[in-house]
Amino acid sequence: MEGTFTNARNQQLFYRGYPAPAGAPTKSTVIFHHGYGAHLGIYDADFKDMQKAGISVYAFDAHSFGRSEPLDAQLRAYVSSVDHFVEDVYSFLQEVVNKQQDMKAPLIMAGVSMGGMVAVLTVAKVPSVWAGLMLLSPSIDVPRTPILRVMIAVQCLMVLLVPSLRIVPRPTLEMVTADPQIREQLQSDPFMDLALVRVRTARCFLDGFAQIGEVQSRINLPIFAAMSPTDQACTMASFRNFSGL
């Protein structure tokens, strides 16, 4: 199943649902949030495997990514507030997931990379809704090196002057995966955004990291986390600081 739903900012967001096979209890219902520059389609095979295993999966393309609005080139990959990501998850839950899911099945929030940040903030907002949290190479924070501190100081001014300028470096595909075939597939995918990050969008990531530090104490539920040993964009050190390991 697939379609669109309307978020609170009147944007049409594309989604797909992978309901567990009928006739047997649903083991769990997973809401999945993709990473920066990506879209739900690249995880299609994984979602189908989960579906066959009796797990319902629902995912949507975040606003300005994939097949979701806004579609104007000047507004693609532009994020004005990290709170919008969280708001959209709850809109999706209300408009789509709650109408489809087995209400007896545990509800799990999952995310990869940037989606991991969104997943943490989403669960922290209303912890009672969720039965678990799944984090795949989550973007929890980045080390505050001297160079980064200088960039942050300069960025504060640039957010005011040129918020939509694509100038902030982003992790390369080589930093994310060691598999050349996967890199080639992502490079040729028309729905992937592999350009530099907009100034305002990058600032939102920093805001999200700061929020995680403020709300992580609210999260007291089972967490499954997996980190790729070759992923240089999302580090184990950041996750350990978050989880207290």
pLDDT over 60 (residue 245): no
d(CA 89, CA 81): 14
Contacts 24+ apart (CB under 8 A), 173-176: 175/231, 175/232, 175/233, 176/113, 176/231, 176/232, 176/233
- Compute the mean pLDDT over every residue in the chain, rounded to the nearest whole number: 90
Q: Please name every residue paired with 2 in a beta bridge, in sequence order, or none if there are none.
A: 16
pLDDT over 70 (residue 6): yes
Model confidence over 163-186: pLDDT tens digits?
A: 999 988 888 888 778 888 989 999
Task: Extract the tokens encoding 61.
Answer: 């393309």
Say which range, 25-39, 122-136, 167-181, has the weakest mean pLDDT: 167-181
Look at phi and psi of residue 190 and say left if phi exceeds 0, alpha if psi is from -120 to 50, else beta: alpha
DSSP per residue, the chain: -EEEEE-TTS-EEEEEEEPPPTTS---EEEEEE--TT--GGGGHHHHHHHHHTTEEEEEEPPTTSTTPSP--GGGTT--S-THHHHHHHHHHIIIIIHHHS-TTSPEEEEEETHHHHHHHHHHHHSGGG-SEEEEES--------HHHHHHHHHHHHHHHH-TT-EEE----HHHH-S-HHHHHHHHH-TT---SPEEHHHHHHHHHHHHHHHHHGGG--S-EEEE--TT-SSS-HHHHHHHHT-
pLDDT band at 140 (very low <50, low <70, confident <90, very high): confident
Check if the beta carbon of residue 200 is closer than 8 Å to that of residue 164: yes
Given the structure tokens 């995918």, which residue do they identify? 189
Task: Extract the tokens encoding 184.
Answer: 């080639």
pLDDT band at 189 (very low <50, low <70, confident <90, very high): very high
> What's the pTM?
0.92
Name which CATH class applies to 2-243: alpha beta
pLDDT over 90 (residue 213): no
Q: How many other CB atoms sit within 10 Å of the CB of residue 46?
A: 13
- Cα angle vertex 99, ends 95, 104, to 5°? 125
Across 15-29, 63-77, 163-177, 202-216, the highest mean pLDDT is recorded for: 63-77
Say which range, 18-22, 27-31, 158-162, 175-179, has the weakest mean pLDDT: 175-179
Check if the beta carbon of residue 62 is closer than 8 Å to that of residue 88: yes
Check if the beta carbon of residue 139 is closer than 8 Å to that of residue 205: yes
Q: How far is CA 16 from the centre of its chain?
A: 15
pLDDT band at 236 (very low <50, low <70, confident <90, very high): low
Q: What is the pLDDT of residue 128?
A: 94
pLDDT over 70 (residue 209): yes
d(CA 163, CA 77): 12
